[in-house]
Structure 1
Amino acid sequence: MYVRDLEGNEYPIQVTYTVDSELNGNITLSCRILPTKVNKLFINDITEMWEIVDHDDEEYKIIYAKKQGEGNTLSVQIKAIPLFYDVLSVKRIEDEYNGSMTASAFFDLVFDDIDYNYVLVDSFNAQSWQGLGGGATKMEVFQDGLNRYGCEFRRSGNTIYLESQVGRDTSFMYRYKLNASNISQENDASAYYTYAKGYGDYAEEDGWQSANLIREYTSPLADILGPREAPPIKDGRITSQETMDERLETLVNESLKISVTTDIHDLREQGYPLAQPMNGDRVFLIDERIDFDEEVRIVRIQIQKDWQGKVRDLKVDLGTPGIVQRYQSNLRSATEQINAIMEGRTKIPFSVLDEAVAQATKSIKNAETELQFPDSGGILAVDKNDPNKMVALTSGGLGVSNDGGNTFPNAITGDGIVADYITAGTLSGITIISDSGNGDRVLIEDGRVHTYEDGVLGVLISNHQAHFYDSGTDDPNPNPGSLIGGLGVSWKQNNPGDRLFTVTSFSDGFTIDAGDPDTRVASPVLELDFNANVSRFFLDIDMEQWNITNVNSIDIKRMRFDIERAWEFVQYNSGSDTKLGLKSMVGSKTFTISDVDDYSIFEVNVGSGGSNGSARVYGDFEVTGAKNAVVPTDSYGDRLMYSEESTKSYFKTYIKETLPKGQHTIDIDPMFLETINGFYVLPFVRNGVEVRILQENTDNFVVEVMDDRDADVIFSVLGLRKGFENDYMEERPPKQGNKIA
C-alpha cells in the first residue's frame, strides 16, 4: 500500500483504513494517518489530489484531508474516491441531447474521451431523454443512465461491465454465532402497496385518458391486507404489455422496504477463501432470535483492513438501502428535478400544465395537418406517435430523421438510393459493387467475391478455392493480374493426381497437411508455432538428414531454428514429455537451460569486455564446495571472501541505536518482516552498558537500558526465511557429481 504525490513520487504507507462501497453507489476510502517512522516521509506534505493505492491495487483520489496536531507531531484524516469516480466527476458533456437513445449510444457518450471502456453484458430498452447533458458532469449522466436503463455496474481494471444484475448466486450462509453478529432488521411499510394500475401507449398531448394500453396487477397479499393502491404508472412511451406488467409487478412487490445489517466475521485466516462477500451477491442469512431465514442481497459493504491488508472488521447491509439513507436519497432526487426545471434543462411535463393551457394546446395540435411547410422550403412529415421520426422532402432528395430533426441524412438523392437506410428484407438477383472511385472496389456476383486494387484484380473467392493475383505494385512488375497463388480443395475425379490439401489453425499455430483424397487421410508437411509471439519452423534430425515431420512423431531429439533466436537444441526422452532445452538468444548474450514448459532453470549472461557477466538460478542453488566472493584490495590484489553458513535458512538485519536509561520500543523494517516467519534479537553492546531484551512482538521488540549511561548498541535480528522454516541440514548427493556420457 502506498501514496503518490502530484509529481508521481510514491511512498509506502502504514495505516488502518476502511472502504465503504454501495451497490451501484458511492465508494469511499477513509483513514487516519499516524506519524510512524514510515509515514513521516510524507505526512507533512500529503494533501488533496494525492493518490492512495490499497492492497488490491485499487487507485483512489484524495478529496478531503484534515491535519490535526498529535503532541509534537500531527495526524492526517483523509477521504478518497476511486480514480474512475474522480475522472467522471471532472468531465462534462457540454452538448444537450433530446430524443430516444439506445443504451449503447448513451454509454458511448459517457465513456467518450476517457481512459475507461464499457461492456454491455445484457440488453436494455432504448429510453427517451430530454435535456441530457447540457453541461452536466459525466458522473451525473452515468448515474441517470443506470437508473433509467435499469442496469447495475461492476468494474474490473479499466473496464465497466453493465448488467441487469451484478453479483453471484452463492451458497454462502451467514448465521448468528457462527460467522455473523449484531444482526438487525428494518421494515418500512409507509409506502406498501398490494395493487397498481398502469396507462401506456398514448400521445403526450392526448393525455393518459386516451391510453391504448391499460394493465393492472394485484398482489396475492391483497386477500389478507386488502387493496392498498399504488400511484398509477402513466407513461405513453410504454407500448409493450410485457414491459408494463413488469413495471407494475416491481412497483408492488418492492414497495415493502426491508433492510438487514450485520457484522460478518472474516474467515480467510481459517481457510475459507470463498465465503467473502461482494456487492450484489445473493446469500443466506439466518438468525433464530428474530425468526429470520431468508436469501438476501448484499447492497453495502464496509471493510476495515490494517497496513498489511488483513481484514479487521467487516459489516454488510442486506436487502434494500437503510430507511434513513433511502429518504435522504429521495429528497436529493426531488431537489435535483426541481432545479433542472427551474434552470431550463428539463421541460415541464404536459400532465402538470394548467387545465386551460393544456386544453388550448391540445386544440391547436388537433387542428394542425400532419404535413408541415417550413420557411426553409420543402415538406416535413412528422410521425404523430413519435415526433423524433421525421421525413423531409426537398429538391435535394428525400431525407429521414430519428432524432427530432437534428440531422437529416439523405436516403434518396439524384444519384440513387443510399443503402445505409435499407433496414430489412432480402436483396435477390443483383450484383453488389462497393467502389471507392479510385479503382479500389469489391464486386459480388454469381456466387463469387472479387477484390480490385487500382483497377487490377487481387483476390477471387469462389466455391472451394481462393485465388491471389499479382497486383502490379511491386518493382519490378512481372505481370499485373497474373495468378501468383491460391488455396483450394480439389476432387480427384475432376483433377486426377491432385492431392488433398488442408490448412488447420490452432490457438498456438497452424499446420499444412497433404494426403490422398480417396482415403481422406492427410499427414503434416509443415508446422508453424506462434508460442510466445514467435513464428518457428520445426526441423528434426533423423539419420543425419533434415526432414520436416509431425511433432507427435519426434522420438529422440530435434534442432529448432527461429527467426528471433540464434539456435535452440531440445532433447526429448522417448515416450515421455520431459526435455532439456539449451538456447542462445539473438543479441542478448545469454545462454539458457530450460525445462519442458520452456521456463528458464539456469541463465548465463556473458557480459562484455570480460566483465559484467552474471549467472541466475531459478529454484534451489546447491554447491558441495565453498561459496566465495572475489573482492579487490589495494595492497594484496583480488582475494576470496567466504559466506557465512548455517544449519537453518536464516535472514538477518542489523539495527544500530544509542539509547538512554529506561525502556524503549524498537520498530523492525516492515519490508524485512514480510520475508521471515518469526524472529529473535541478539544485542551487541559496544560500551559495556547493560541492555536487556524484555519482549519480542509482531513487528517490534522492547528493550531496557539498566545503567545511567547511554547504551551504544547494535541489535542483530534473525528470522527464519518464509517458506523454508522446516529446512534443517537436508541430505544431499556426494561431493563428486554424476558422470555425463
Structure 2
Amino acid sequence: MITFTDVENNEYQAQCEIEKTDAVNGEKSLSGTIYFGQDVKSNIAKGWTLSFLGEDYVVVTYTKNDKENTVAFSAVQAFFYKMSKTGFYETWNGSHPFATYLDALFAGTGYTYDNTATVAAFEKQDWGMSDRLSLFNDIIDQASVEFSVEGTVIHVVPAMGSDLSTIVRKKFNLDTAEIQTDNTSFATYGRGYGAYSNPDDTTSSRLEVEYKSPLYDYYYPKFGAIEAVPVADERYTIADNLLAAVQEKVDKSWAISLTLNLVDLQSVGYKYAMANPGDYITVIDESLNFSDKVRIIKVTSDYDIRGTRTKTEVECGSLSFAEQQKTSQSTLSNVAAGKIPVPNEWLTSQVQLATNSLLAARTELKFTDQGIIAIDKSDSNKVVILNSAGVGVSTDGGQTFKSAITADGVVADRLFGNLISGITYETTDEASGYKIRLKGGSMELLKGSKLVSGINQFNIGTDFNNLDGNALRLAQTDGNGTSVGVITIPRTSRQSNPLVQITGKVDSSLNFTGTRYITAENTLWVTAADMVSLGSFNPSNGKTTEYFRVTSSETDVWGNFNVYNGSKNAVQVTRDGLRATPAYELAENYVGDIGEGKTGEDKTVRVDIDPLVFDLINTDKPYQVFLTAYSDAHFWVSERGKDYFIVSSDTPNSSFGWELKGKRRGFEDQRLVDTKDTYNDLEKMEGLIPNGNQNVQSNS
C-alpha cells in the first residue's frame, strides 16, 4: 500500500503500479497508475504528496481514466520540487568560493549540504534571479561535481558511485541488452582556443591547438574534415590541457549508450547488490560482441501493486566512438582471417532490418575454416557468410546478420511471396512481449506465454474471447494512427460479472428481449453501482450537461419535467395496498405554504412568510392567501406585504388556518406553456392517443 497525503496532511491508502527512476546527479522521480483506493482516485489534487521506499515525492501531474477507473500520475522527489518552486532574488558577479554559492542557495530552504569535493573558486556573470534548482544545477555543472539526495541532506561529491567488481553477463544475470548510437554530432577534427597572449587585448594572438581523431584519414576522402564546435575558453593557459578538452569532445562526438535489463538475484537469495547510479560495472554480452566497463547513469525499476520489484532497467553512459570501434570491428576481422569461429548468435539472432542487394555486386571471396565469406568491394559493410551452419547476410560489416538461414529456421525482416501456408504462424513484439499466433483455424493473442484473448471457430459460429484480467478494445483510428476507444471490455470484467464500456455513439434501432435475470420481453435494465446519469453533449463548448440522475435514494431532474397524457403521482402505502396520489395541477406556476395563526387582543396578527419560501416566490407579483376559521369569528387579510401579511378578525383571540400561493420566482409569466408538440407528434408516440385526442373537449 502507498500512503498519499493531501494539503491538510490527511493520509489515504492506495494500491499502485510504480516506475521509479534514479539517475546521476540525484534525479528521482516516479510514474504510476492507481488501481485501488477510491479516496485517492476521487480526491487527488494539487499539493498531494506520497511516500515511497522511505522518501517523499510531490505529485506534479495526474490523469483520471473513467474507462479503466484508474488514475495515472507522475511525481518528483520533494527536494527537486521545493527547490524549483523557491526563487533566489539576487544577482551575483565575480569570483566566489564554491561553498559560498551553496550557502546562499540552501539558506532558509530546510535543506543542508555535505560537500566532500575540492573545487576552486570560480567566476559567474549575472548569476541569480531564477529558481534555486536551476542555479544549483548550474554551479554543479560549473564545478564538474555530482550530488545525491538523502532526506534533507544533499551530498556533493567529486563523482557518485563506486568501481564495482560486479560482472553482468548474458545468460547469467543479464536478460536483454541494447546498444544505441547517435552520430548527429560525429566529428573527426577539432580546434581549441585558449588564453590571449595579452589578456587585455582580444586582438592579440591566442593559445591554439588542433586534434585529428584516429578516424580522420578514413573519412577524409569522402567528407573532408568533419569538424566539431571549437573549444573557446580563455581559462586554458596550458596547451596540453586545452588539447585534452578538444580530444575528449571529438572522441565522444558519436554517442553510444547501453541499456540493460537486469535480473534481480536478491529475490532468490543470491548475495548480489543492485548497482546504483554512478557505479561502474563490467558488462559482457557475446551476442553484441561487447565486453567493457561502463558507468550507470540511470536505474529504472518497476513495482507491482504489492510493492514487489518486477523489473530493473539500467542505462549506461555514452561510450566514446573509439571504444565502440574497438568492440565492434575486431570480430569480423578475426572471422575473415580464420582466427575465431563465426558466433552462433550471428545466425540465430532476430534483427530489425532486412536488405537484399545481390545484383550488380562486386565481391571479394575469402575461404576460411569457418566457411566462405563474401565482402562487397565497394562497400565492406555488405557481407555474406556460407558454411555448414547456414547462410547469413549482413549490412553492417558482420556485426549482425539481418537475414539468415540455419538449421534453427529462417530469419528475415520481410518475406515476399503470393502465399505462405503451414500449420502455425506466430509474430512477437519483443518490446512489449505481445504475441499473435494463428493456429488450427483460430487466432490467439498472448502476453509472453499467457493467453490474453483470441478468435475461435465453432460449429455454431465464431467466438471472440477475452480472458479475465485483460482489456479488449474496439477502436476507431484516424489516418495518423491515433485511436479512440469505441467499445471496451475493461480489465475488471469477469465471467461472473461481465462488463462492457461503450464510449462511441450508438446508431441503431435497439430491440431488447430481456436480460439474464429478467426474462420479460422487451425489458431493459440500466444499472450502476452508485448512480445513473443522463445528459446531452454540447459540441460548441465541449461540455456535457446533466439532466437526469438516479441514485439509490432519489431521482433528480434538471429542466422541465413534462408528463404526456398521464398524471404525476406520489405512491404511498395504505391499509388497502399501494395507492397513487396525483399532484395538484394549476394553469400557472405556483409555490405554496400552509400554516395556522391566532389574532391578538387588537384582533390582528402578522404572519411572516418563511424566508425560504420567500426565496422561491416573487411577492412583487400578487400572491393569494386563503383563510379557514377555527373559531366563531370572521377573518380577512387586511394587508399583503413583501415578506408578510396581516390577518384581521371581528373578535379578539380567534384561531384560523391559512394557505399561501405565490408565483414561482423566474416563472412568473408562464401560463399553460405551449410544448410546441403537434397532434401528429403525439400520434408518433405509441399509445398516447389510441382513440383520438380524448383530452380535447367542447364548451358547447
TM-score by length of 2: 0.42
Rg (Cα) greater in structure:
2
1 or 2 for the larger relative contact order (CA 8 Å, sep ≥6)? Answer: 2
TM-score by length of 1: 0.40
